[in-house]
Every structure is written in C-alpha cells, then in structure tokens.
Chain A
C-alpha cells in the first residue's frame, strides 16, 4: 500500500534536547512538507522540499532543520533553539506542485517537551 509513514507516533523529550521526526513516503512524490499544528490553530508550514537535495523555509522555520537526501525521506529535527516545540507535527507530500495535485498527509507525530 502506498502512503506516508511518520514515526514515532508519540515522542517525549526533555528541554534542551534535539529530536528527529521521521517521514517516509512510497508514493514517488517529488514534493514533501512539514507542518506544525497547535490546539485550535490551522497548520503552519515549517519547511518544504520540491526535489532531492533542495529545501526551503516555510513560515516558522526557526529552531527546526531538515534534510532531503533521498526522494522518499524528509526527516525533521527539532532543535533546542525551538522555544515552544510541544505540538502535533504533520508530514505531507504531493506528486508535483502544490495546487496542481492533492496533498497527502501522514498520521502525525505528537511531540511533548517535559
């Protein structure tokens, strides 16, 4: 079955620690995205990548980093510089450009900083 997988589903970390969230897709999609969702708010774009080895900052990139070494994978690292990292993180992908193709979402990772 094709789709997007994210792991882990739940993640706890102590303040000051970096943590990496995994996102893998087997849809052969070119573009991948990371969003953050806070209670009562819509999704906000953190980073996105339209091709391998290239990525761009979204609206709230500070305190986050990404890599796109393979087409299938787009991991997100939440660094200690992110001041309020507790949130629900969603990874998504599109075959081509957003706006031309449906954006598929993974099941999400809920990160809690203790």
Chain B
C-alpha cells in the first residue's frame, strides 16, 4: 500500500530557531513530491520536487529530495511566529497518479 509518513507529528520551537521537517514515502510509480503550508484553511503550495539532490529555496525555506532513500526534508531557518502552521507533504504516484498526503507536521513557533 502506498504511504507517506511525516515526522515529527508536532514541534514547538522559539523564534529564531531552525527546524527540519521530514517526509518519507513508499509510493509506486513516483512522479513528484510536494510540500504545502496549511494555516487553518486551504493549503498553500511551497515546493514541488522531482529530482534528487537539487535544493529548492524560497526565502528562509528550503527543501531537498532523496529518491534513493525515499525521503525529503523541509528546512525553515530563523523561524518566525508566522511560520506556525501544519506542513503537509504529498507524493504523486501510485496506479492513478494522484496525490497521497502525509498526516502533516504541526509547527508552533513561540515568541
């Protein structure tokens, strides 16, 4: 069965800390891995990763994919209270090329 596992389930840090969120997967017919940020409403897109070893960066956020070890990490440096959200990882693949979501990591950044 295809699955996506995120860790940790939740995380509390202080402003200025650096965090690393993990996403591992076992999905047949892998096409891509996506990261989303969800703040009590619709998820907003962060990154799409398709190739191993190529870091994608947007401001203080960065992400990288390892297709050999079947995982991705999302890094957030110099965290701010506005980074508090659920971060969702999804993998596109399986028999029907649909998104398979992990349960998410709840990040709380305290002032």
List A contacts of B99 (CB < 8 A).
Answer: 33, 43, 45, 98, 103
Counting contact residues on chain B (CB < 8 A from A), the size range is 20 to 34
Give the CA-CA distance A56 to B101 in the complex, in Å: 18
Q: Does A21 touch B at the CB level, under 8 Å?
A: no
Contact between chains at A43 and B101 (CB < 8 Å): yes
Give the contacts of B1-58 with A (CB-CB under 8 A): 4, 31-32, 34, 36, 41-45, 48
Q: Does A74 touch B at the CB level, under 8 Å?
A: no
List B contacts of A97 (CB < 8 A).
Answer: 97
B: residues with CB less than 8 A from A are 4, 31-32, 34, 36, 41-45, 48, 88, 90, 92-93, 96-99, 101-104
A: residues with CB less than 8 A from B are 33, 35, 40-45, 48, 56, 58, 90, 97-100, 102-108
